[in-house]
Amino acid sequence: MLKEGQKSASSHNLSGLLGINAWQIRKDFSYFGAFGTPGVGYDIEKLVKQVKKILKLNEPKKAALIGVGNLGSAVMSYAGFGIYDFNIAAAFDINPKKIGRKISNIRIEDVSNLQVLKKQKINIAIIAVPREAAQQTADALVKAGVKGILNFSPCHIKVPKKVKVITIDIAMDLARLPYYMPAG
């Protein structure tokens, strides 16, 4: 809406766009203060700024990718991170044939060098390694000072409480569909 030059949006506008009830949107916003103007709606520019601040997205962030296989490569060239000011600034793999190659202008490093993340002040990582290697990769990331992990491996990963993991299990999400579908 910002890009389309729109100035304000009501909770009902947002509702239609997001598939969330209008009262839910208002209630959620209200927990963080009052951003809107009664009778008008929400000033879009202001709203974006507020929400980014709440979600701690108010400054550019760098992330590292571990595992440059099919999925990792796709993630690397995915264009959608920019909207949240994210940038994949480092890539790692265990395969000697891949190390040294470039992908999206980033040199693929040896996964045993994860410690460089500390120097580069990258504290967010994306795990796109096989399931068997996921836990040990996470352990190494934690050692390297990473505080947030997006995990594409189909398994639960154990980390210290200070570290946040969000797991995306593609196959499981696909497998959730039949439950909601009519028999046949």
Q: Rule CB under 8 A: which residues touch its own copies?
A: 17-19, 54-57, 61, 63, 70-71, 73-75, 77-78, 80-81, 83-84, 86, 123-124, 126, 147-150, 154, 156, 158, 162, 164, 166, 168-184
Residue 34 vs 83, nearer CB to its own copies: 83
CB contact set of 177 (below 8 Å; sequence gap of 6+): none
> Residue 120 CB, nearest distance to its own copies (Å)?
14
| 36 touching DNA, by CB under 7 A | yes
Residue 43 vs 148, nearer CB to its own copies: 148
- Site size for DNA, by CB under 7 A? 21
Q: What are phi and psi of 161, to 5 degrees?
A: -60, -30
Distance from the first to the final alpha carbon of the chain: 40
Among 6, 30, 115, 120, binds DNA (CB under 7 A): 30
How many helices and strands (H and E) does the chain possess?
8, 10
| 44 touching DNA, by CB under 7 A | no
| 160 touching DNA, by CB under 7 A | no
Q: Scanning the structure block, which residue is given the tokens 């120097």?
A: 119
How distant is the alpha carbon of residue 61 from its chain centre? 11
Helix axes 11-18, 22-30, angle to 10 degrees: 110
